[in-house]
Structure 1
């Protein structure tokens, strides 16, 4: 499949600041639903989730074969989207990622997550050696499921969030070093515009990182206002605007996957303790690599893999604090939109307060 017209180039990694204001490990994977799940003949259950027969229907439709039989369907961890692992009778496996259930409230930046993941996976497979899934099928209309879905190859492995407590210091360093190498490859990709992936690929991105970032921040603040979430709106807007000219130092749009190094998005071989793949590319933008996953709270081993230790200039620190402000605000708003997520609201508020106080000192 050819990507939409977009100038993508590979460049050396840029210098960034080393900070420690990132989000932490989230939840473990969800429960399993077997092939004995009830089938009503419809595409969705009462809660909006695809049933077993509709998942098998999608796979048979994609491969145009009625002989393909799904043996088991397992519900995987999905922070927002519905994710299923379909094991076939021939021993192969596929991953089906569907739109959130109909009663899930989305933030503005989340509404094109499946399209973003599709374009990101295709880009990474074409231009990097990062182990990610192969896109088998993307359907923006939903087809059999009547909603957008993405069908990809399956990457074996257990989530880092499940294994982290059982890793030795040496094993964890090797994993961090590998992640640093992958993030160097990812952020070396450059486009011609800044902003959210679906807009950049449609040639509707921004010409400056300042405009793109301020738009992202304002978007989540409006989400907060819609739900009457208590956050210091005036302080956030004031201090970020006060330092926003420093965003103009970012002149090359780089690929930034905000959650690429989150423990629940890193897959590990249980025997060798090596990274087998990365998942979770629904929140990806073209912007400042300093904002990317793993960079904000990377270990020494991470930056060994990344290739250089970032500078600590005041200007770069200010950018880092603006991104910490954005991440904390997104966490707070997400918590109010979807309280069932295990987001630590108090920690997010502490992170937001710290970032704003530090911005006030610069």
Structure 2
């Protein structure tokens, strides 16, 4: 529903002040749509020059967040800025990011509005050929994203601040530990000691990853992949706040990947590699633990 008519004059003026940072004074905010159901408050802005933007705020103070979600807005801004250099049409353009919030009072980013319907919404309308084409394109997109490399492993802001991990093994254990601690905080019943013991036992296999590549952990998630409803082709991906410097196989599209995904990426995953790294990653163990936390009332 439109929120423009219900906004107070000072709120409209604040939005307009942000737009004036980026466009000529003749460009005005014509309409605002509030998009519900997201951890971060989202607003779709329609401008007088025909452009549509997404205004994304940091989460409300009353919203309970998983540890990785607390850095999602800044991470997404960093990813959009980095991938903007590639000019890939599937990646929304970042227009502005303010970590302090300025006149809006909360950290926010302003990005291009990505058109399309999600795979989750369109899944029943997709033919096997449609799905293969989408998977192939997602595999290629993962390869393009993975061409960006860093000097150390871990969350983007930590690597940027010089506090990243020296090995993928160290970074992955830290990532997994965050998920476990989220669950422990909410008294979710899991065999924590056994889980930690198994991670420690298997983690040496992660040492074979020596190059920190950019990976969007949620890449391929049906609710975050957009397709053109008419052409049935990949049109964009959104919610890139799950990015990490690590192993590209951490991306969700490599959970039981289709042959089209592997073809698009240009690899075949060997059983030896699966037995090492992917035994930890393919089952989405951290995601399962996070899901337990959410279902146990975490939000």
In 2, the alpha carbon distance for the partners of 1:75 and 1:91 equals 18
Structure 2 residue aligned with 1:328: 288
Q: Give a deviation string over 1:21-45, Cα, whole Å, max 9, x none.
A: xxxxxxxxxxx33422x234565xx
Structure 2 residue aligned with 1:5: none
1:241 aligns with 2:200: yes
Aligned ranges 1:1-362 → 2 under 5 Å:
32-36=1-5, 38-40=6-8, 53=12, 56-63=15-22, 67-76=26-35, 79-127=38-86, 129=88, 131-313=90-272, 316-323=274-281, 324-336=284-296, 338-339=298-299
Q: Contact 1:128–1:186 (CA<8 Å) still a contact in 2?
A: no
Q: Contact 2:22–2:95 (CA<8 Å) still a contact in 1?
A: no
Q: Secondary structure at 2:253's aligned position in 1?
A: coil
Structure 2 residue aligned with 1:19: none
Gaps of 5+ in 2: none
Q: CA deviation at 1:193?
A: 0.3
Q: Contact 1:80–1:100 (CA<8 Å) still a contact in 2?
A: yes
Q: CA deviation at 1:338?
A: 4.4
Q: CA RMSD in A?
A: 2.1
Q: Give a deviation string over 1:27-76, Cα, whole Å, max 9, x none.
A: xxxxx33422x234565xxxxxxxxx266335434337654332222233
Gaps of 5+ in 1: 1-31, 44-52, 340-362
In 1, the alpha carbon distance for the partners of 2:167 and 2:67 equals 20
Q: Give a deviation string over 1:169-207, Cα, whole Å, max 9, x none.
A: 111111111111111111232211000111111221000
Q: Contact 1:260–1:280 (CA<8 Å) still a contact in 2?
A: no
| Change in CA separation of 1:41 and 1:130 when aligned onto 2, cut-off 3 Å | closer
Q: Contact 1:54–1:144 (CA<8 Å) still a contact in 2?
A: no
Structure number with greater CO (CA < 8 Å, separation at least 6) is 1
Q: Secondary structure at 2:200's aligned position in 1?
A: helix
In 1, the alpha carbon distance for the partners of 2:7 and 2:72 equals 28
Runs of 4+ residues over 6 Å off in structure 1 = none
Q: Contact 2:225–2:237 (CA<8 Å) still a contact in 1?
A: yes
In 2, the alpha carbon distance for the partners of 1:41 and 1:234 equals 55
Higher helix share: 2
